[in-house]
Chain A
Amino acid sequence: MPGDSSAGGRLNVLWLQSGGCGGCSMSLLGSKAGDLHRTLAGAGVELLWHPSLSEASGAEALEVWRACADGRTRLDVLCLEGAVLRGPAGTGRFHLAAGTGEPMMAWVRRLAARARQVVAVGTCAAFGGMSSGGGNPADACGLQYEGDAPGGLLGAEWRAPDGLPVVNVAGCPPHPDWMVETLVALGMGALGPADLDRLGRPRAYADQLVHHGCPRNEYYEFKASAHRPSDLGCLMENMGCKATQAHADCNTRLWNGSGSCLRGGFACIDCTAPGFEEPGHPFAATPKVAGIPIALPIDMPKAWFVALAALSKSATPRRVRENAVADHPLVPPGIRTAGRK
């Protein structure tokens, strides 16, 4: 029987949603892994209950939650999508779990205590995300972080029985592969503390920068910059792009077939990072001091950046310069006709 604690070798996963938008689940459904259910089942992942996918509703669904909470069903992984809503005044009443009259915050705490592993799906559940933006009206936080400050609902010290902190599959939303691969890795027992970065994100995707593989890299090299939405140039200098600092593989593992934020013509807003919701400047504009962006590429000393930028701007080929401010290439690459046999 599914979820029976006697059934070995399976990873029982319970997926709950709280203060988020449901976009993480919607992104998951876009998985190109073909038959999502079979892919997960093949890795031993048994979804005990998921709010958009499961049959059980109302009392039957609550019975699944209760059986996990009181230990009748073995709970291997608790996935939470959406931030924990602590308001108003610490009561958690901004999100009462439907049918229970109890704050979702209390359910999450109780279930996390039983779970062998806790996974924060999306930046909301990981760090608070957009739900904690502005004045944070609902007092939203992540499971183990509030922004980049350790803490959150479960506290900085919380560890799963085998030593893993909360696994933060950050992203707003996360790429479907980031979620599927994390669950599959957990199902195979192949995710250890060393596979997570300092913020609990799976290094499989977080050890890359969005900048890697960006089709605008040639424009970046020459500082040939876009000025308006739909320009082809580099989005870093004027349009707020943080791809040189953002941890994710969005340009080598594409979205919805052939996409990424940059390929779609708009800036990376570093949605896998804590605090992305409050950049301290308009999202689509690059803050500068004396004409120089204040947030430079990670690992790059400012003097070098300034020197290289000046040099490369002076060396920009006409093709790159003109195409940077057009919405489709106006100047094709030249074709060399002489000197070759």
Chain B
Amino acid sequence: MKRVVVGPFNRVEGDLEVTLDVEGGAVRAARVCSPMYRGFEQLLAGKTPLDALTIVPRVCGICSVAQSAAAARALASAMGLEAPANGRLASDLVRAAESAADHLTHFYLFFMPDFAREAYARRPWFDAVQARFQAVRGSAAAEALEARARLLDLMGLLAGKWPHTLALQPGGTSRAVLPHEKLQLLLTLRAFRAFLERTLYGDALERVAALDDAAALAAWRDARPAGASDFAAFLRVADDLGLERYGRAHDAFMSVGAYGPDGAPWLAPGVYDGALHPLDPASIDEDVSHAWLADDVPRHPAQGVTRPAPDKPGAYTWCKAPRLGGRVVEVGALARQVVAGHPLARDLVARGGGNVLSRVAGRLLELARLVPEMERWVAALAPGEPFCADGALPDEASGVGLVEAARGGLGHWLEVRGGRIHGYQIIAPTTWNFSPRDAGGQPGPLEQALTGLPVGDGEAAVLVQHVVRSFDPCMVCTVH
């Protein structure tokens, strides 16, 4: 048996190292390491609770608004405060824009460039894919970045700036929208839709969102001439390389639910493992048996502690291992769409579980569904009505903020004592997906997804990258 260390992984957010035990040309076991620790949970202790709004976005520059939203929710729940409809819509729009920008960045900048690598030079699609998607040189990156920058104009208007806004408040948002600004928001979304329909999909968003099973997806792909759709180009590559056969994890999917009023979100919360179950956040705990953190029993995050123990034997990462009722679950756009019951996502998962194809398709399906939804939210904004409610924070309180970031469920657990933050625990999406083994030896989702994967030279060397990137990891979030 041979041990291979892979890192630094680039085109992921932050630092990542993977250790593979290889035998007979395949991965026997994988260990995922997040090699950086800053200690945000520690540095929040003792602060004025509202300071979390300034501090936690800096956990992560790629999902900074999701962090803001989770903090705002945790504070709102501690204050017993509910945002007016405008505040909720504006904050949903800001979060959706961040997610949409993320999905776009992931596809064009992080994921597709791997198919332009020399390892694939013999594949019939190679020249076209290289011209389009090669890192830095490909024609797609510039177009995607321009569309992304234009989409983020929505952030400038609704949130002042991105990343690291303070506009998302417990009571709503700090930036009311005037009637003419509603039109600007619509025009911004129209421009983004035009890019997606012309370039990414080569079709109307509604038609992509209406694809209801794998056969419909294949027929849709075959009907798009080469060069007319970047999504179809990916689907052709995926078909040729058999990407649906790689990267399967535990096939239990979790979503905390996203967008819209509490109790009736647009994307429903739940757990899906072939059947749909309700989500019980009380059954979440974090195990630190293989993390460089002081050993203890698995704890619910409301009672969680974070104490570095860099010399701990048997530990191999700074990431904790969150489990749901003891189970390993996968989070992300695919999980959200599967839990919410989208027929295409459900069919892809029924056929091959979570895998490189279904995760990427799940993300692009979500993007196609999200933008028309955002247009409806803009239309529902009511200038003149309030955007932010007032409230006071009791000196003794606790709060929870659960939101869906682009990469999956994000949770903040806040404990206030004597008017100060006493405890603050964060479980980020990649903490779920890239968690290490737990005390029972269960590997985390990526560790499982890499097990059995062929490794070697040429194409077999790039496969690991596809599997890792299919999760769109965000390491700075993971360990905060």
Chain A contact residues, CB within 8 Å of chain B: 17-27, 29-32, 34-38, 47, 49, 51-58, 61-62, 85, 88, 91, 93-100, 129-131, 133-138, 140, 172-173, 228-230, 254-267, 269, 271, 277, 282-284, 327-328
B174-182, B214-222, B236-244, B336-344 - the one binding chain A: B174-182
Cα distance, A173 to B155, chains bound together (Å): 15
Selected contact of B17 from candidates A98, A134, A254, CB within 8 Å:
A98
Cα distance, A240 to B296, chains bound together (Å): 40
Selected contact of B7 from candidates A85, A98, A284, CB within 8 Å:
A98
With contacts A230-B173, A256-B152, A256-B155 taken as known, whether A35 is within 8 angstroms of B160 at the C-beta atoms is no
Chain B contact residues, CB within 8 Å of chain A: 5-11, 13-17, 33, 35-39, 42-48, 50-51, 53-55, 58-62, 64, 105, 109-110, 113, 116-117, 134-137, 141-142, 145-146, 148-149, 152-167, 169, 171-176, 178, 184, 188, 308, 310, 383-384, 386-388, 390, 465, 476
Cα distance, A255 to B153, chains bound together (Å): 8
4 further A-B contacts with Cβ under 8 Å, apart from A55-B116, A55-B136, are: A53-B109, A228-B390, A261-B165, A265-B160
B145 and A258 form a contact (CB under 8 A): no
For this complex, 7 residue pairs linking A to B, each with C-beta atoms less than 8 Å apart, are: A26-B62, A35-B145, A53-B136, A95-B36, A98-B17, A258-B156, A284-B50
Selected contact of B174 from candidates A55, A58, A265, CB within 8 Å:
A265
A37 and B113 form a contact (CB under 8 A): no
B310 and A93 form a contact (CB under 8 A): yes
Selected contact of A264 from candidates B35, B59, B153, B159, CB within 8 Å:
B159
Q: Which of B37, B38, B110, B184 gathers most chain A CB within 10 Å? A: B38
User: Distance in Å from the Cβ of A126 to the closest Cβ of chain B?
Assistant: 14
A52 and B53 form a contact (CB under 8 A): no
A328 and B36 form a contact (CB under 8 A): no
List the A side residues contacting B13 at CB < 8 Å: 22, 52
Cα distance, A47 to B10, chains bound together (Å): 14
List the A side residues contacting B10 at CB < 8 Å: 49, 51-52, 54, 56-57, 61
CB-based closest 3 A-B pairs: A264-B160, A23-B61, A134-B43
Cα distance, A305 to B155, chains bound together (Å): 35
Cα distance, A216 to B6, chains bound together (Å): 52
Cα distance, A98 to B109, chains bound together (Å): 21
List the B side residues contacting A99 at CB < 8 Å: 5-8, 17
B310 and A88 form a contact (CB under 8 A): yes
Cα distance, A57 to B390, chains bound together (Å): 49
A137 and B162 form a contact (CB under 8 A): no
User: Distance in Å from the Cβ of A32 to the closest Cβ of chain B?
Assistant: 6
List the B side residues contacting A271 at CB < 8 Å: 164
B54 and A269 form a contact (CB under 8 A): yes
What DSSP secondary structure best describes chain A's contact surface?
loop
Cα distance, A137 to B318, chains bound together (Å): 14
Selected contact of B388 from candidates A38, A62, A230, A255, CB within 8 Å:
A230
Selected contact of B387 from candidates A18, A172, A258, A327, CB within 8 Å:
A327
A94 and B38 form a contact (CB under 8 A): yes
User: Distance in Å from the Cβ of B314 to the closest Cβ of chain A?
Assistant: 16
With contacts A52-B11, A230-B174 taken as known, whether A26 is within 8 angstroms of B163 at the C-beta atoms is yes
With contacts A55-B136, A134-B43, A137-B308 taken as known, whether A228 is within 8 angstroms of B388 at the C-beta atoms is yes
Cα distance, A91 to B308, chains bound together (Å): 14
B163 and A27 form a contact (CB under 8 A): yes
B51 and A282 form a contact (CB under 8 A): yes
CB nearest neighbor in B for A57: B10
A266 and B167 form a contact (CB under 8 A): yes
List the A side residues contacting B476 at CB < 8 Å: 20-22
Cα distance, A93 to B167, chains bound together (Å): 35
CB nearest neighbor in A for B113: A55
A34 and B142 form a contact (CB under 8 A): yes
B35 and A95 form a contact (CB under 8 A): yes
User: Distance in Å from the Cβ of B438 to the closest Cβ of chain A?
Assistant: 23
Q: Which of A91, A266, A284 gathers most chain B CB within 10 Å? A: A266
B176 and A328 form a contact (CB under 8 A): yes
List the B side residues contacting A262 at CB < 8 Å: 160
User: Distance in Å from the Cβ of A64 to the closest Cβ of chain B?
Assistant: 10
User: Distance in Å from the Cβ of A234 to the closest Cβ of chain B?
Assistant: 14
With contacts A55-B134, A134-B45, A269-B54 taken as known, whether A229 is within 8 angstroms of B171 at the C-beta atoms is yes
With contacts A61-B8, A258-B157 taken as known, whether A35 is within 8 angstroms of B165 at the C-beta atoms is no
CB nearest neighbor in A for B149: A30
Cα distance, A272 to B347, chains bound together (Å): 50
List the B side residues contacting A259 at CB < 8 Å: 155-157, 159-161
A256 and B390 form a contact (CB under 8 A): no
A47 and B109 form a contact (CB under 8 A): no
B149 and A31 form a contact (CB under 8 A): yes
B64 and A21 form a contact (CB under 8 A): yes
A261 and B136 form a contact (CB under 8 A): no
A98 and B35 form a contact (CB under 8 A): yes
CB nearest neighbor in B for A327: B176
CB nearest neighbor in B for A34: B146
List the A side residues contacting B386 at CB < 8 Å: 230, 327
With contacts A99-B5, A264-B160 taken as known, whether A24 is within 8 angstroms of B136 at the C-beta atoms is no
User: Distance in Å from the Cβ of B456 to the closest Cβ of chain A?
Assistant: 14
List the A side residues contacting B47 at CB < 8 Å: 134
A136 and B175 form a contact (CB under 8 A): no
